[in-house]
Amino acid sequence: MEAVAGGCAELDVYHLKSWPVGAPGAPLDADPAVVELHARLLARSDVPLATAGGAVLHRVPTLTPRDPEWITHSDASARWLRAFLGGAPLKAPIVHAHVPITGGWAALENAAPGARVHMTEHSSFLAQLLEQPAARARYDEVLERADGFFVVGEPLHRLIAAEFPHHAGKLEYIANPIDFGAPRAAAPTALRRWLSVAALNERKRIDYLLEAFRRCREEDPGLTLTLAGDGKLRANLEALAEELGLSGSVEFLGSVDPAEVPALMAAHDLFVHTSRHETFGVVVVEALAAGTPVLVSRCGGSDQVLRGIEDAAGRLYDVDDDPEVLVAAYRDLRERYPERTNVPAAREHLRAKYSYETVARRHFEVWDQGARR
């Protein structure tokens, strides 16, 4: 939104915020009174908020069942956006939606006749979604109806092209935009203050990070680790940190406002990423945008992001369950830094690909091409 708002005559953003209701497994209409009340109040809930570049944000509370089937969430997204709009179609001649199974379907079902609907996929859960037959069929329909379909990275491109080869020619890339506006004042002198920005869940492997950090700290007791993020594993990870004797050197910040991330990156010496798989790797680019070197797992998205600048940016290491792999990678980077790295050059390489200006220009190219057809 912030990247493209300045180049649009008008930009309205509809944020479909899921509100889970009902007993697990129960259909959305199991409690008609709740659904009816929500429908009556929804039109009154619109309090447009002025945001970056004059864009207008509309928050759409979306009742969804406590149901693991994505088709029900897809239907609910379209249903409640329609109710929010009072049954009228979206006024925009160009609509760009995110998360095709929910936002994309809602856009297709509520776009005005003749409007062009583009969408971007960046969901890490897509493989699991496509295991559900009804959701898979819906996704196929979304691909067919969309005027433009974009992915943020190679892992998603490979997955969608393999699952829907008849739509492979429709897939294009469009990156997540990153703010490169405020690099750190001075480069780190030593890689001793580690930072992780990640949800505290199994995929991010923070337990693996804690054990590797413990081993590195045995060699350098001055190392510290800051964990920004929250999740269902927080209590277990805090207990693990204490068990490993790290209570005084590991800080759990909890959830951090995205606007605070650049300053957080700049306040540390090394960004460490241990995820098992990613679709893009926004935080990796954010770290380098701040001028902070990175130590990153080969989790898919970051491989693409750092291709050709791995040694300049820091160090990539293989996804492995043995923490010694991360320890060895850190030792190698520590020995090379700063003489055999070039973080400023890596930053400039990424700025040319992922800055607000670059990504905005790509969006405008896509939208303008559609307008000329």
Mean pLDDT of the 45-52 span:
86
Rounded Cα distance, 309 and 327, in Å: 21
Question: Cβ distance 11 to 56 under 8 Å?
Answer: yes
pLDDT band at 371 (very low <50, low <70, confident <90, very high): low
The per-residue pLDDT for 251 is 98
Rounded Cα distance, 268 and 191, in Å: 8
| Torsion region of 212: left, alpha or beta (phi above 0 gives left; psi -120 to 50 gives alpha) | alpha
Q: Helix H segments across the chain?
A: 32-42, 70-84, 105-110, 126-129, 133-145, 154-163, 206-219, 234-243, 261-266, 282-289, 301-305, 310-313, 323-336, 343-354, 356-372
C-alpha torsion 169→72→281→3, nearest 10: 80
For 212, what's the count of Cα atoms within 13 Å in the CB-facing half-sphere? 25
Bridge partners (DSSP) of residue 224 are: 193
Least confident span in 169-178, 276-285, 349-358: 276-285
Question: Cβ distance 246 to 219 under 8 Å?
Answer: no
Tokens 């300049």 identify what position?
Answer: 312
The per-residue pLDDT for 45 is 84
User: Taking Cα atoms as reference points, which of 230, 284, 292 lies closest to residue 263?
Assistant: 292
Write the pLDDT tens digit of every residue in 241-273. Answer: 999 999 899 999 999 998 899 999 999 999 999
CATH for 5-177+355-372 is: 3.40.50.2000
R_g (Cα) of the chain, nearest Å: 22
Least confident span in 22-36, 112-126, 135-149, 159-173: 22-36
How many contiguous H segments (helices) and E segments (strands) does the chain have?
Answer: 15, 13
The per-residue pLDDT for 27 is 87
Question: Cβ distance 58 to 14 under 8 Å?
Answer: yes
The per-residue pLDDT for 107 is 98
pLDDT band at 157 (very low <50, low <70, confident <90, very high): very high
Write the pLDDT tens digit of every residue in 62-92. Answer: 999 998 999 999 999 999 999 999 999 999 9
In sequence order, what E strands does 22-80 have? Answer: 49-50, 56-65
Mean pLDDT of the 120-140 span:
96
Rounded Cα distance, 300 and 163, in Å: 18
pLDDT band at 314 (very low <50, low <70, confident <90, very high): very high
From 3.30.470.10, 3.40.50.2000, 3.40.50.300, 3.40.1410.10, which CATH number describes the 193-353 domain? 3.40.50.2000
Q: Give the distance from CA 217 to its chain's centroid.
A: 31
Bridge partners (DSSP) of residue 252 are: 227
User: Taking Cα atoms as reference points, which of 87, 67, 69 lies closest to residue 78?
Assistant: 87
Domain boundaries, the chain: 5-177+355-372, 193-353
Q: What is the mean pLDDT of the chain?
A: 93
Rounded Cα distance, 77 and 201, in Å: 26
Percent of all residues in the chain with a pLDDT value above 70, rounded to a whole number: 99
Mean pLDDT of the 17-44 span:
88
Q: In what order do the strands lie in the sheet with 294-297?
A: 250-254, 224-228, 193-197, 270-273, 294-297, 314-317
> To 5 degrees, how large is the angle CA 98–CA 308–CA 199?
40
Rounded Cα distance, 32 and 47, in Å: 26
Amino acid at residue number 213:
F
